[in-house]
Homo-oligomer: A and B are copies of this chain.
Amino acid sequence: MDTVVIVGAGMTKFEKSPRSLRALAGEAVTAALDHAGLDAAVLDAAYVGNGAAGLVTGQEMIRGQVMLRPLGIEGIPIFNIENACASSSSALHLGWQAVAAGMHDVVLCLGAEKLTHEDKSVGMAAIGTAVDIEAQAEMAETLGAGADSAKRSFFMDIYAGLARSYMELSGATKEHFAQVVVKNQHNGARNARAQYGAELSVADVLNSRTIIDPLTLLMCSPISDGAAAVVLMSEREASRQGLGGPRIRASIVVSGNRHDKSDPSAGSGGRAARAAYEQAGLGPEDLDCAEVHDASAPAELIVYEQLGLAPPGGGPELIASGATALDGRLPVNTSGGLLSKGHPIGATGIAQICEATWQLREEAGDRQVDGARVALAQNGGGWLDEDSAAMSVHILTAD
């Protein structure tokens, strides 16, 4: 297995954008190639993650080819990968695999998503397909609600249910959830590519509109458009070309499984983390920073435990201690996370990798973690039988 180097990373600003999916993708790809100092002609293959284009723009089947053709990227193998909100980390894994296996020297991994639509319900309905739609329709019928209304609120229902269970298990309060938002919005305010970002108080977060108890509006990631891309190269080829960049030390994707819900480490998040630490030969104590899937604020605390950053039930104490703040011992979501940076679902996984890359290259500007050498990115997607349908963990080192 060859070691794989991230020689370039680029992304658009995440925002509600009037631009097309291919325009967003084009900007991210061009930025990643420019970052590496490479021309598109050197690419051997491309792995493209997108979750919702079929339902939002009507483009299915050959999304990557359509996005990449205007950049002159054609002829090479192009794979379209879908795993809901973990689509682009899944694309990254498959690109990493091809380079690590020695099948390709240099590949592009892209995540792109256009969720805003003139009809606001379209993006929400598309996200709602990241579950078993037949089971969900049955559930909606049982509840006496229409399938469409269930679809729109289903994910926030899931997150709220998780939050309530977690409060019981760990003693977390709404204040702890609000502390996550305060931290991530603070970080996002230092990231020009973040959709939001502000200096908020816990009270500001608690006083924002209630979506579903215990979640307030600011505890939920927004609807966003955007794209993110990385260029991967074998260490041998990078060395030959005089290129540097972070090394991928672990690349894990798993699917969810039915498991004991009273143990936050038993599901896909814990399994993916353990597999990643084993593959990297590193542990939670080695991390200098992490990007995690805070689709809702409580999720960040749950993920702390899944990743072994805190002991079981220790999530609330970890956020309260300030350890995961930008100036803490282990800054988490320095980019602003999904809550502040935004969550264009198919782009999120590689956007996390962009942040990790910039941190490890000391290019993160106002949010740079001093001397960051080891970074982790955790990205979940979809929902099935009370677990994420797909879960990815990547671990990178500076060199």
A97 partner residues in chain B, CB cutoff 8 A: 97-98, 101, 103
State the oligomeric state as a number of copies.
2
Kindly specify which of A56-64, A191-199, A238-246, A292-300 makes contact with the partner chain: A56-64
The answer to whether residues A130 and B61 also contact, given A69-B384, A80-B82, A82-B80 and a CB cut-off of 8 A, is yes
The answer to whether residues A126 and B60 also contact, given A55-B54, A382-B65 and a CB cut-off of 8 A, is yes
Across the two chains, which residue of chain B brings its CB closest to A57? Answer: B133
CB distance A94 to B79 under 8 Å?
yes
Report if A83 contacts B (CB, 8 A).
yes
Grouping DSSP codes into helix (H, G, I), strand (E, B) and loop, the A interface class, with mixed when no group exceeds half, is mixed
Report if A281 contacts B (CB, 8 A).
no
Report if A32 contacts B (CB, 8 A).
no
CB distance B79 to A80 under 8 Å?
no
Report if A253 contacts B (CB, 8 A).
yes
Per-residue interface assignment for chain A, residues 104 to 139, with 1 indicating a CB less than 8 Å from any chain B CB and 0 otherwise: 000000000000000000000010011111100000
A98 partner residues in chain B, CB cutoff 8 A: 97
Question: Which of B60, B94, B390 has a CB less than 8 Å from the CB of A55?
Answer: B60
Within the complex, the shortest CB–CB distance from A353 to chain B, in Å, comes to 18
CB distance B62 to A130 under 8 Å?
yes
Question: Which of B69, B79, B81, B389 has a CB less than 8 Å from the CB of A65?
Answer: B389
A77 to B133, CA, bound (A): 21
CB distance B133 to A75 under 8 Å?
no
Report if A254 contacts B (CB, 8 A).
yes
Report if A373 contacts B (CB, 8 A).
no
A84 partner residues in chain B, CB cutoff 8 A: 61-62
Report if A363 contacts B (CB, 8 A).
no
CB distance B390 to A78 under 8 Å?
yes
Report if A51 contacts B (CB, 8 A).
yes
CB distance B253 to A75 under 8 Å?
no
A35 to B259, CA, bound (A): 30
Report if A258 contacts B (CB, 8 A).
yes
CB distance A256 to B94 under 8 Å?
no
Known: A60-B126, A75-B271, A80-B81. 19 other contacts (CB 8 A): A51-B61, A55-B55, A55-B58, A57-B133, A60-B130, A61-B84, A61-B87, A61-B129, A61-B382, A62-B389, A66-B384, A74-B257, A74-B385, A75-B268, A77-B255, A78-B390, A79-B81, A79-B94, A97-B97
